[in-house]
Amino acid sequence: MSFINYNAKEIHCKVVYYGPSLGGKTTNLQWVYQQTAEEQKSKLMTLNTDVERTLFFDFLPLNVGEIRGFKTRFHLYTVPGQVVYDASRKLILKGLDGVIFVADSQIERMEENLESLKNLQINLEQQGYSLKEIPMVMQYNKRDLPNAASLAELRSVLNTFNAPDFEATANEGRGVFESLKSASKSIINVLKGGASL
Query: Residue 65: pLDDT band by 50, 70, 90 thresholds?
Result: low
pLDDT in the model for residue 2:
74
Is 7 in contact with 68 (CB distance < 8 Å)?
no
What is d(CA 159, CA 64) in angstroms, rounded to the nearest whole number?
26
Is 1 in contact with 129 (CB distance < 8 Å)?
no
Mean pLDDT of 51-71: 62
- Where is average pLDDT lowest: 1-5, 28-32, 159-163, 170-174? 1-5
The total number of structural domains in the chain stands at 1
Can you give the pTM of this predicted structure?
0.88
pLDDT in the model for residue 35:
84
Mean pLDDT of 88-113: 93
Mean pLDDT of 78-104: 84
The four Cα atoms 92, 96, 99, 104 give a dihedral, to 10 degrees, of 0
Q: What's the half-sphere exposure (Cβ side, CA atoms, 13 Å) at 168?
A: 27
pLDDT in the model for residue 87:
77
pLDDT in the model for residue 156:
97
- What is the domain range of residue 48? 3-194
Mean pLDDT of 5-13: 83
What is d(CA 24, CA 32) in angstroms, rounded to the nearest whole number?
12
Mean pLDDT of 107-135: 94
Instruction: Compute how many other C-beta atoms are within 10 angstroms of the C-beta atom of residue 30.
Output: 17
Instruction: Look up the CATH number of the domain holding residue 8.
Output: 3.40.50.300
- The one-letter code for the residue type at 8 is A
Q: What tens digit of pLDDT does each residue of 138-190 get?
A: 999 999 999 999 999 999 999 999 999 999 999 999 999 999 999 999 998 88
3-state secondary structure 53-91: EEEEEEECCCCCCCECCEEEEEEEEECCCCHHHHHHHHH
pLDDT in the model for residue 82:
65
What is d(CA 133, CA 127) in angstroms, rounded to the nearest whole number?
13
Does residue 125 sit in helix, strand or coil? Answer: helix
- Where is average pLDDT lowest: 44-48, 49-53, 181-185? 49-53
- Where is average pLDDT lowest: 21-30, 34-43, 138-147, 151-160? 34-43
